[in-house]
């Protein structure tokens, strides 16, 4: 993932916030976030070997599959729920984002932009399923289930009734401001419930 | 599938000899203390309760490094090191000792035999003061909370106002949970392993098979048996059934398969046993030599009656908990299945208790915490080290 995304999350999450990180992996980023922002953090990870790595780092971690819901957490337990490496791999993103908003007040989601110009060119000119730095695996090996663009993501937010209050776009050269749906490879967005 | 690490198939340390076993702790001794006038939940008051216990490692000057290890059903106070009489290692010697998961170079470890047990602590085999004969069936029904109340007396006797950690597997996990609920100010960290907040029908059913085996043994005699006429067959059958529930199909296939045990003399060749049969016979016989049948009845009843919440709403009970939790289950444990640990974790988190949960993929069933288990040891060791370290950092910050 683009380092700029981690940087954004570090800036967006205030000191002392309660944060739930979904798909926390080996906990490396969450450990940095705890150290930098003194947050009260918890990770959810399904792979026991990665859960063990999180425990080694001294993180509070829950071994579980976020696809099965977040029933172990009460309503509005967290200030922020982050989904940084897994959004496109979720079978039912609508349900999971709804669950995230049940247990937390704000949700931060990172995703890859499928409308990047290199993706468009590969499909249009070569007639092949795209393989790019942010979509590095061929179709038969990718864990992504969903392919979306920044425009799609905004529509998704409208559909489920949440608003994107901040976002940042990146490609291999750095931050993208001009025509992000064409030039951004990776995007991170801060969502708040429109209610 | 990966090959298991060497030694994992040896099983636990309780009822078998492992040739050339080395314990870095050397010989460890068990001590005893007597408490007067101990009342239990049933209303019965013991004139005296003896408690057998062991301490390992050194208490820190700040008295903040004590770990109470709670025994499982068949455990004893002899948790680690070699027994002075038998030379056998303690039941958790794989995980308690210098440099091990529960590191006796860092922590002061306390383990006691539970009330109702039969390894030095008052139990059904102890003499009743009025008659001078064993209590037998006059021994009052016990609860897990009664066991914990007696442990609390021991902890006070040792001059400890707080425990860094209370840890235990199975019945020990129930004790650890009771500590966190009933002594919230005295527990910083709670580690319940392969346990539950109350038994389900299947768990009660297996215990009842064991109890019926003992009580239908003609020697049981309403609980008034004598040392030379004990219900040994019943107790052995109870242990055999129990042992099967502690293993997994994989562990049994891997360890025994359909292998035959070579007969001791050639004349018995026709009656060759499957290795698993021979193993269970041995487990039963070994258990009979060290366990009291009435104690088995008393403790399994306490397990079946256990309800962490004592009929109250879980959230109300867990809201007073101050400890941080590490909950460990094993994917292959069908006696205390991971779903029970997940339910415990859900209730803890709903009550806003900081709880880490890991479901280890160890393939050896309920016994996975008693055997050599590097993944388990690694997780437990890191967790205790981090929690102890972060406690120190917080204390330092508060002092600054």
pLDDT tens, residue by residue, B198-215: 999 999 999 999 999 999
Domain that holds residue B104: 8-198+309-399
In this complex, do A61 and B356 lie within 8 Å of one another by their Cβ atoms?
yes
Identify the bridge partners of residue B173 per DSSP, sorted by sequence position: none
The sign one gets for the Cα dihedral A36, A40, A46, A50 is positive
HSE at residue B364, side-chain half, CA atoms within 13 A, is: 22
Q: Is the pLDDT of residue B263 over 80?
A: no
- 32-61 in chain A: CB under 8 A from chain B: 42, 48, 51-52, 55-61
The 8-class DSSP code of residue A160 comes to H
Q: Do A60 and B356 touch (CB under 8 A)?
A: yes
Instruction: Tell me the average pLDDT of chain A.
Output: 95
- Cα(B110)–Cα(B106) distance, rounded to whole angstroms? 13
Do A118 and A130 meet the contact criterion of CB atoms below 8 Å apart? Answer: yes
Contact B359, A45 (CB under 8 A): no
Give a yes or no: residue B217 inside a domain.
Answer: no
- Across the interface, do A48 and B350 touch by the CB < 8 Å criterion? no
C-beta separation of B325 from B332 below 8 A: no
- The tally of domains found in chain B comes to 1
Q: For B137-168, how does the pLDDT look when each residue is reduced to its tens digit (9 = 90+)?
A: 999 999 999 999 999 999 999 999 999 999 99
**If pLDDT is split at 50, 70 and 90, which confidence band does B391 have?**
confident
Q: In the predicted model, what is the mean pLDDT of residues B282-299? A: 96
The strand pairing partners of A40, in sequence order, are: A18
First and final C-alpha spacing in chain B:
52
pLDDT averaged over chain B? 94
Whichever domain contains A91, its CATH number is: 3.40.50.150
Instruction: Spell out a b/e string for A80-111, using b for 16 or more CB atoms within 10 Å of the CB, else e.
Output: bbbbbbbbbbbeebeebbbbbbbbbebbbbbb
The pLDDT of residue B13 is 82
If one counts the domains in chain A, the total is: 1
Q: Which chain A residue is nearest to residue B330, measuring alpha carbons?
A: A48
> Quick one: what percent of chain B has pLDDT higher than 90?
88
For A59, name the nearest residue in chain B, comparing CA atoms only. B356
In a domain, A44, yes or no: yes
Q: Which of B168, B47, B50 is nearest to B119 (CA)?
A: B50
Q: Would the CB atoms of B354 and A64 count as touching at under 8 Å?
A: no
B272 pLDDT tier (thresholds 50, 70, 90): confident
Q: What is the structure's pLDDT at B4?
A: 54
* Closest Cβ opposite residue B383 in set A42, A55, A72: A55
| Cα separation, B285 vs B289, whole angstroms | 7
**For B315, nearest residue in chain A (alpha carbons):** A74
Please give the residue range of the domain that contains residue A84. 3-112+147-193
Those residues with Cβ within 8 angstroms of residue A131's Cβ, 6 or more apart along the chain or in another chain = A122, A137, A138
Q: Indicate whether B345 pLDDT > 80.
A: yes
**Contact yes or no for B98/B105 (Cβ under 8 A):** yes
Q: Report the C-alpha gap between A54 and B21 in whole angstroms.
A: 33
Q: Give the tens place of pLDDT for each residue, B162-195.
A: 999 999 999 999 999 999 999 999 999 999 999 9
Cβ contact A87:A100 at 8 Å: no
Closest CA to B137 of B42, B224, B210, B218: B224
- Å between B239 CA and nearest CA of chain A: 32
**Pick among B190, B323, B356, B368 to test the A interface (most A CBs inside 10 A):** B356
Percent of chain A with pLDDT over 90: 90
For residue B5, count CB atoms less than 10 angstroms from its CB and return exposed for 0-12, middle for 13-18, buried for 19 or more.
exposed
Nearest-CA distance from A21 to chain B in Å?
A: 14
Contact A52 B378 (CB under 8 A): yes
Helices B232-246/B275-288 angle, 10° precision: 120
Domain of residue B118, CATH code: 3.40.50.1820
- Rounded mean pLDDT, B237-256: 95
pLDDT computed for residue B278 by the predictor: 92
- The pLDDT value recorded for residue B270 is 65
| pLDDT (average), residues A174-190 | 95
Find chain B residues with C-beta within 8 A of A77's C-beta: 349, 352
pLDDT bin (cut points 50, 70, 90) of residue B1 is very low
Q: CB–CB of A82/A19 below 8 Å?
A: yes
A52-56, A144-148, B306-310: segment of lowest average pLDDT: A144-148
Tell me, yes or no, if B386 comes closer than 8 A to chain A by beta carbon: yes
- Asked if A122 reaches chain B (Cβ–Cβ under 8 Å), the answer is no
Residue A133 located in a structural domain: no
Provide the 8-state DSSP code for A142: -
Residue A10 placed within a domain = yes
Q: What is the ipTM of this complex?
A: 0.94
Residues of A in contact with B383 (CB under 8 A): 55
Please check the confidence at residue A195 and state whether its pLDDT lies above 90: no
CB contact (8 A) between residue A62 and residue B356: yes
Residue of B nearest to A103 (CA): B350
How many CB atoms lie under 10 A from the CB of residue B85? 7
Cα(B320)–Cα(B12) distance, integer angstroms: 36
Residue B159 to residue B228: CA distance in whole angstroms: 42
Three-class HEC string of chain B: CCCCCCCHHHCCCCCCCCCCCCCCCCECCCEEEEEEEEECCCCCEEEEEEEEEEEECCCCCCCCCEEEEECCCCCCCCCCCECCCCCCECCCCCCEECCCCEECCCCEEEEECCCCCCCCCCCCCCECCCCCCECHHHCCCCCHHHHHHHHHHHHHHCCCCCEEEEEEECHHHHHHHHHHHHCHHHEEEEEEECCCCECCHHHHHHHHHHHHHHHCCHHHHHHCCECCECCHHHHHHHHHHHHHHHCCHHHHHHHCCCCEECCCCHHHHHHCEEHHHHHHHHHHHHHHCCCCHHHHHHHHHHHHHCECCCCCCHHHHHCCCCCEEEEEEECCCCCCCHHHHHHHHHHHHHCCCCEEEEEECCCCHHHHHCCCCHHHHHHHHHHHHHHHHHHHHHHHHHHC
More reliable by pLDDT, B273 or B395: B273
Chain A nearest-CA residue for B391: A58
A56: which chain B residues are within 8 Å (Cβ-Cβ)? 378, 382, 386
CB-based contact B349 A73, cutoff 8 Å: yes
Say whether B389 and A58 touch across the interface (CB within 8 A). yes
Residue B283: inside a domain, yes or no? Answer: no
Q: pLDDT category, B266, cuts 50, 70, 90?
A: low
Q: Please indicate, yes or no, if residue A48 is contained in any of the structural domains.
A: yes
**Domain membership flag for residue A122:** no
Contact with chain B for residue A77, Cβ under 8 A = yes
Residue A29 lies in a domain: yes
Residue A140, domain member (yes or no)? no
Which of the residues of B are catalytic? 170, 333, 366
Are B345 and A61 inside 8 Å of each other by CB?
no
Mean pLDDT of B236-240: 98
For B382, which of A55, A73, A77 is closest by C-beta distance? A55
Identify whether B285 is part of a domain.
no
């Amino acid at each position: 993932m683009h380092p700029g995304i981690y940087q954004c999350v570090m800036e967006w999450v205030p000191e002392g916030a309660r944060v739930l990180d979904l798909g926390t992996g080996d906990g490396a980023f969450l450990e940095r976030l705890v150290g930098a922002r003194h947050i009260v953090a918890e990770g959810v990870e399904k792979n026991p070997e990665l859960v063990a790595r999180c425990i080694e780092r001294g993180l509070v971690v829950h071994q579980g599959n976020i696809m099965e819901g977040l029933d172990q957490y009460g309503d509005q337990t967290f200030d922020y729920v982050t989904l940084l490496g897994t959004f496109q791999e979720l079978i039912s993103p609508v349900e999971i984002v709804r669950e995230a908003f049940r247990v937390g007040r704000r949700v931060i989601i990172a995703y890859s932009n499928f409308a990047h110009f290199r993706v468009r060119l590969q499909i249009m000119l070569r007639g092949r399923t795209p393989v790019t730095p942010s979509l590095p695996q061929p179709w038969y090996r990718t864990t992504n289930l969903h392919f979306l663009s920044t425009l799609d993501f905004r529509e998704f937010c409208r559909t489920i009734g949440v608003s994107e209050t901040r976002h940042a776009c990146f490609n291999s050269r750095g931050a993208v401001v001009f025509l992000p749906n064409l030039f951004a490879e990776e995007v991170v967005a801060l969502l708040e419930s429109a209610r | 599938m990966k090959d298991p690490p060497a030694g994992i198939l040896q099983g636990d340390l309780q009822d078998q000899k492992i040739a050339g076993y080395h314990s870095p702790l050397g010989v460890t001794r068990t001590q005893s203390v007597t408490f007067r006038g101990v009342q239990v939940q049933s209303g019965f008051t013991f004139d005296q309760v003896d408690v057998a216990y062991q301490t390992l490692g050194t208490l820190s000057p700040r008295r903040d490094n004590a770990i109470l290890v709670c025994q499982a059903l068949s455990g004893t106070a002899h948790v680690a090191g070699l027994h002075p009489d038998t030379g056998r290692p303690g039941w958790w010697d794989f995980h308690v000792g210098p440099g091990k998961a529960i590191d006796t170079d860092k922590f002061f470890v306390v383990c006691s035999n539970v009330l109702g047990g039969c390894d030095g602590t008052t139990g059904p085999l102890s003499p009743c003061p009025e008659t001078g004969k064993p209590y037998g069936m006059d021994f009052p029904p016990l609860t897990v909370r009664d066991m914990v109340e007696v442990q609390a007396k021991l902890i006070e006797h040792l001059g400890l106002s707080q425990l860094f950690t209370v840890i235990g597997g199975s019945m020990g996990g129930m004790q650890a949970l009771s500590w966190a609920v009933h002594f919230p100010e005295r527990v910083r960290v709670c580690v319940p392993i392969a346990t539950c907040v109350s038994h389900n029908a299947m768990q009660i059913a297996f215990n009842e098979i064991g109890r019926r085996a003992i009580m239908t043994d003609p020697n049981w005699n309403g609980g008034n048996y004598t040392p030379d006429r004990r219900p040994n067959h019943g107790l052995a059958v109870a242990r055999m059934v129990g042992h099967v529930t502690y293993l997994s199909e994989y562990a049994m296939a891997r360890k025994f398969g359909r292998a035959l045990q070579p007969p001791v003399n050639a004349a018995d060749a026709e009656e060759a046993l499957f290795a698993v049969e021979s193993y269970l016979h041995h487990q039963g016989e070994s258990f009979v030599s060290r366990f009291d049948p009435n104690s088995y009845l008393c403790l399994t009843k306490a397990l079946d009656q256990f309800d962490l919440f004592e009929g109250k709403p879980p959230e109300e009970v867990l809201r007073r908990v101050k400890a941080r939790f590490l909950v460990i289950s094993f994917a292959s444990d069908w006696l205390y299945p991971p779903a029970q640990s997940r339910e415990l974790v859900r209730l803890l988190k709903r009550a806003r208790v900081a709880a880490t949960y890991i479901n280890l993929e160890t393939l050896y069933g309920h016994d996975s915490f008693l055997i050599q288990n590097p993944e388990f040891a690694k997780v437990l060791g890191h967790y205790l080290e981090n929690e102890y370290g972060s406690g120190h950092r917080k204390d330092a910050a508060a002092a600054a």
